[in-house]
């Protein structure tokens, strides 16, 4: 079952996708919470990014983050990505543990890709964020940033990834972190 998007890919598409040798992209996603326990999400609108075997379904919301570059660890990637995608500096954030993991096959920027994600908690006292530091690849794709309460995420009609976010976020908000990272996105 594909827990990344709805509707899920048919089993025959997933089976084919999982047997292909797609390039691997190791990535970090940041669960960035402010003092009001709101989660920062970014709105993406990129027809080149979609489920394998499916048509583009329009814009979606997801956590800030991106690919781990050579020589970076998870924390360095999180700090760099937050600077690029939110304008927050290292002094503006407090990083926590990696609490979730996920793997999926996706058409990313027009190319089939196997994505391995680590989800790290971060806290900030700042609510003012900006998309003015985006990379060339992100300009035109990232449309906006917004803070969402758990209630807004749970009741949203918008597409939000990962789809199980509202199920696992309450424990993170309470600071009740798993002893080892939970797998919340998995293609089978």
Q: pLDDT truncated to tens, each residue of the chain (188 aa)?
A: 334 433 344 433 444 445 468 999 999 999 999 999 999 999 999 998 988 888 888 999 999 999 999 999 999 999 999 999 999 999 999 999 999 999 999 899 889 999 999 999 999 999 999 999 998 889 989 999 999 999 999 999 999 999 999 999 999 999 999 999 999 987 63
Q: Using an 8 Å Cβ cutoff, are 123 and 38 in contact?
A: no
Domain ranges of the chain: 11-186
Q: Using an 8 Å Cβ cutoff, are 145 and 86 in contact?
A: yes
Domain 11-186 has CATH 3.30.110.40: no
Distance of CA 78 to the CA centre of its chain: 11
Please state whether the predicted TM-score (pTM) of the whole model is above 0.85: yes
The β-bridge relationship of strands 111-124 and 24-33 is parallel
How many other C-beta atoms are found inside a 10 Å radius of the C-beta of residue 68?
21
Alpha helix positions (H), the chain: 11-19, 74-86, 150-155, 165-174
């Amino acid at each position: 079952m594909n827990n990344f998007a709805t509707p899920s890919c048919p089993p025959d598409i997933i089976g084919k996708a999982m047997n292909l040798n797609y390039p691997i992209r190791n990535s970090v996603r940041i669960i960035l919470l402010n003092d009001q326990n709101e989660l920062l999400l970014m709105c993406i609108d990129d027809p080149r990014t979609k489920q394998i075997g499916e048509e583009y379904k329009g814009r979606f919301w997801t956590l800030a983050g991106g690919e781990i570059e050579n020589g970076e660890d998870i924390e360095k990637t999180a700090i760099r990505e937050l600077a690029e995608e939110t304008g927050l500096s290292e002094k503006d954030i407090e990083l926590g543990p990696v609490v979730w993991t996920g793997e999926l096959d996706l058409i990313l920027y027009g190319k089939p890709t196997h994505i391995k994600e680590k989800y790290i908690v971060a806290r900030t006292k700042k609510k003012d964020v900006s998309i003015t530091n985006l990379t060339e690849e992100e300009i035109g794709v990232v449309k906006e940033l917004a803070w969402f309460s758990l209630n807004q995420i749970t009741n949203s009609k918008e597409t939000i990834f990962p789809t199980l976010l509202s199920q696992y976020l309450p424990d993170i908000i309470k600071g009740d972190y798993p002893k080892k990272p939970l797998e919340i996105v998995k293609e089978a």
